[in-house]
């Protein structure tokens, strides 16, 4: 879209939720919109505010605005990285796209593996920071902007989790404030010219969004995953919430048959992202998209209000290892290899094993392992290339240092690093790619700017008590409306039975993708090591389901980005243009 005088031209992905408020503000100065589009309001906002435009926007977005008079271009990405934006800066200029595949259409596309990013991926299941696994192509950081002019390149940030002042509100006042902000964020996210539905797991976050949306009279139906395997279905709790709200909850059947979509899911990833729960989101979005085009979910609540069990794990490890010599910690870490792990949905024995194995790391590094897969030394052993192995061995130390994380971090410190890394590079990437693959727009009301700022301002006592449940403030809001049976249920999550599926229903697929022939294409891997690990898992001698899942994603991603096995170029290649 262009302004009437054709000076400013925008390409835009996402939604500006507060565009009506901005339009009314601009009308005071004579602005008369010619459409009902938030894109037109975005252009007018840019004309007025220039590089500070994003400070006034609430929503999820990635956009580029060209100034044809100055010969400049401005790129920006939303506060939390809900929408993707990739850039490549060379001596010839700047290339950008919201999809990685566009770079493959360029006539000079000649990719090389980013070895530092590779080591981090093996440890974390995603590529952290601004890196991608292709050297020279990076992600524009969440909450940041980049401007290229004929004279210079400038960049900046318009939002950071560091910009917070601790709240002095007592618990009762904080609850009232939280309710009002959740309502406001939900009201804005409900704006749509098509009907809106809900992702409802029955957990704290999605329940609060659902309650607010229904109370505001905008939603009459929700969806949840229903897996027959014991302990994995969301339907019982989601339906309980739905009945209390008076809305229909549609269960989406979820079984190992969804593994037929595994390769398709992998090809939708820009960078490899090996969170196995992406397949659950994929299945949900696939079904919901048949009836709706917009859905609200609860992403962001754990990061902003201290909901992850990983926070308690890091605090516990800090307390246990404070006066423990390194040899003793290493001994405890090695003892994890002898701990029997029972099958099921993130069982107690599995959590205990993951907790023990990280004892050799300082708490600030161990924190990253709770949601990851390989420990740094294990990741290094998977790599035949010595430089790559070196990067893997210190992947978590580099990540800790990049965020200036102290050895024994506090809860707010952990929230900030999760907001900087885990939220944009795993959680929101998973939601965006899996929903947009089916033409479904997934929105996250809890990521409303003022609500996020408020959540980060809360003292630890408002997040959880030492022996109590986490996410205390939000749980109390749920308790007031639905009772303790909903507010204090065990955290569910989108886990799937990966260990079992790879040994049984998806075994043929796993054996094929991780065959020596296909693994051999990835010159940096130690093929014999990977094959041995696969055999140990398949025989039941070890639980490497999540690790093998990540390696399968890596193989498919590599074939797509490097061997071009699954990528079809258009008949005419894309060309870079000069403004």
pLDDT per position as a tens digit, 80-96: 999 999 999 988 888 99
Query: pLDDT per residue over 413-453, tens digit each?
Result: 999 999 999 999 999 999 999 999 999 999 999 999 999 99
- Calculate mean pLDDT across residues 379-390: 96
187-207 mean pLDDT: 95
Cβ atoms < 10 Å from Cβ of 385: 16
Which phi and psi angles does 153 have, rounded to 5°?
-120, 125
Give phi and psi for 76, each to the nearest 5: -150, 155
CA distance 60 to 52: 16
DSSP assignment letter at 54: G
Bigger pLDDT: 207 vs 493: 207
- Torsion angle in degrees (nearest 10) through CA of 39, 448, 494, 175: -160
Q: Does domain 171-306+413-487 have CATH number 3.40.50.620?
A: yes
Tokens representing 431? 């939601």
Share of the chain above pLDDT 70, in %: 93
Residue 548 scores a pLDDT above 60: yes
What pLDDT is attached to residue 346? 60
Q: Is the pLDDT of residue 566 over 60?
A: no
pLDDT digits (tens, 9 = 90+) for 252-262: 998 889 999 99
Distance CA 56, CA 33 (A): 18
Q: pLDDT of 69-125, one tens digit each?
A: 999 999 999 999 999 999 999 888 889 999 998 999 888 888 999 999 999 999 999
Q: Which of 111-115, 329-333, 488-492 has the lowest mean pLDDT?
A: 488-492
User: Quick one: CATH architecture of 8-157?
Assistant: 4-Layer Sandwich (3.60)
For the stretch 119-128, what's the b/e string if a residue is b when 16 or more beta carbons lie within 10 angstroms of its beta carbon?
A: bbbbbbbbbb
Confidence at residue 332, expressed as pLDDT on a 0 to 100 scale: 78
Q: What is residue 344's predicted lDDT score, i.e. its pLDDT?
A: 56
Q: Does 212 have pLDDT greater than 80?
A: yes
Residues β-bridged to residue 198: 222, 296
CB 287 within 8 A of CB 191: no
Mean pLDDT of the chain: 91
Give the Cα separation of 173 and 18 in Å (integer).
26
Domain boundaries, the chain: 8-157, 171-306+413-487, 497-573
- Could you tell me the two tokens for 552? 């399968």
pLDDT tens digits for range 332-370: 777 766 666 665 556 677 778 788 888 889 999 999 999
Question: Does 134 have pLDDT greater than 60?
Answer: yes
Closest CA to 477 of 201, 169, 176: 176
- Please write the tens of the pLDDT for every residue from 141-162: 999 999 999 999 999 999 998 8
Q: What is the number of other CB atoms lying within 10 angstroms of the CB of residue 61?
A: 22
**CA–CA gap between residue 138 and residue 271 (Å, rounded):** 10
Q: How many degrees, rounded to 5, is the angle at CA 481 between CA 478 and CA 484?
A: 60
The CA distance from 195 to 20, in Å, is 18
Cβ contact 67:73 at 8 Å? yes
Give the global pTM: 0.94
- pLDDT tops 90 at residue 16: yes
Instruction: Name the burial class of residue 170, with classes exposed (0-12), middle (13-18) and buried (19+) by CB atoms within 10 angstroms of its CB.
Output: exposed
Tens digits of residue pLDDT in 513-524 = 999 999 999 999
Is the confidence at residue 570, as pLDDT, over 60? no
| Torsion angle in degrees (nearest 10) through CA of 313, 318, 319, 321 | 120
Overall average pLDDT of the 37-62 stretch: 96
Average pLDDT, stretch 181-201?
Answer: 96
Provide the 3-class DSSP secondary structure of residue 225: strand
The residues, ordered by sequence, that sit 6+ positions from 290 with a Cβ below 8 Å of its Cβ are: none
**396 half-sphere exposure, CB direction, 13 A CA radius:** 29
Distance CA 179, CA 186 (A): 11
Residue 206: pLDDT over 90: yes
- Residue 466: pLDDT above 90? no
């Amino acid at each position: 879209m262009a302004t009437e005088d054709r000076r400013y031209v925008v390409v835009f992905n996402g939604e500006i939720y507060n565009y009506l408020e901005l339009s009314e503000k601009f009308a005071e100065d004579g602005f008369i919109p010619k459409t009902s589009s938030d894109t037109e309001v975005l252009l007018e906002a840019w004309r007025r505010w220039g590089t500070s435009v994003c400070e006034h926007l609430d929503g999820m977005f990635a956009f580029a605005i060209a100034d044809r008079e100055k010969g400049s271009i401005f790129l920006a990405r939303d506060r939390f990285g809900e929408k993707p934006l990739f850039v490549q800066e060379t001596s010839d200029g700047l290339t950008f796209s919201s999809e990685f595949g566009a770079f493959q259409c360029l006539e000079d596309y000649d990719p090389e593996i980013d070895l530092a990013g590779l080591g981090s991926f093996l440890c974390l299941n995603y590529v952290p920071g601004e890196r991608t696994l292709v050297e020279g192509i990076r992600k524009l950081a969440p909450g940041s902007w980049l401007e290229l002019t004929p004279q210079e390149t400038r960049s900046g940030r318009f939002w950071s989790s560091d910009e917070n002042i601790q709240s002095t509100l007592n618990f009762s006042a904080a609850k009232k404030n939280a309710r009002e902000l959740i309502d406001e964020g939900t009201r804005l996210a409900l704006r749509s010219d098509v009907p809106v539905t809900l992702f409802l797991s029955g957990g704290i976050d999605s329940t609060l969004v659902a309650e607010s949306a229904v109370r505001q009279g905008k939603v009459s139906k929700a969806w949840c995953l229903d897996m027959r395997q014991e302990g994995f279905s969301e339907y019982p709790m989601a339906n309980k919430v739905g009945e209390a709200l008076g809305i229909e909850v549609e269960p989406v059947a979820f079984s190992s048959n969804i593994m037929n979509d595994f390769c398709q899911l992998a090809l939708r990833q820009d960078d490899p992202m090996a969170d196995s729960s992406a397949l659950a989101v994929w299945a949900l979005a696939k079904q919901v998209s048949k009836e709706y085009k917009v859905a609200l979910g609860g992403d962001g609540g754990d990061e902003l209000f201290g909901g992850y069990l990983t926070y308690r794990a890091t605090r516990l490890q800090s307390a246990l290892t404070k006066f423990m010599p390194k040899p003793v910690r290493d001994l405890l870490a090695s003892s994890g290899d002898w701990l029997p792990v029972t099958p099921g949905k993130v069982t107690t024995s599995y959590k205990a094993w993951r907790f023990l194995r990280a004892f050799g790391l300082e708490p600030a590094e161990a924190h990253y392992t709770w949601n990851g897969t390989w420990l740094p030394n294990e990741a290094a052993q998977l790599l035949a290339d010595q430089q790559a192995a070196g990067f893997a061995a210190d992947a978590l130390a580099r990540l800790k240092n990049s965020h200036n994380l102290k050895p024994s971090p506090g809860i707010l410190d952990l929230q900030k690093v999760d907001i900087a890394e885990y939220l944009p590079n795993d959680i929101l990437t998973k939601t965006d790619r899996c929903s947009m693959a089916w033409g479904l727009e997934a929105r996250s009301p809890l990521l409303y700017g003022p609500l996020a700022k408020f959540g980060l301002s809360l003292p630890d006592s408002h997040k959880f008590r030492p022996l109590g449940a986490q996410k205390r403030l939000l749980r109390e809001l749920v308790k007031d409306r639905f009772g303790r049976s909903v507010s204090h249920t065990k955290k569910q999550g989108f886990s799937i039975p990966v260990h079992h599926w790879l040994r049984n229903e998806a075994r043929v697929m796993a054996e094929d993708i991780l065959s020596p022939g296909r693994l051999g294409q990835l010159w940096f891997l130690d093929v014999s090591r990977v094959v041995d690990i696969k055999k140990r898992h398949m025989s039941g001698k070890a639980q490497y389901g999540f690790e093998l899942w990540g390696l399968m994603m890596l193989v498919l991603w590599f074939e797509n980005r490097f061997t071009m096995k699954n990528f079809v170029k258009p008949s005419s290649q894309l060309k870079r243009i000069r403004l």
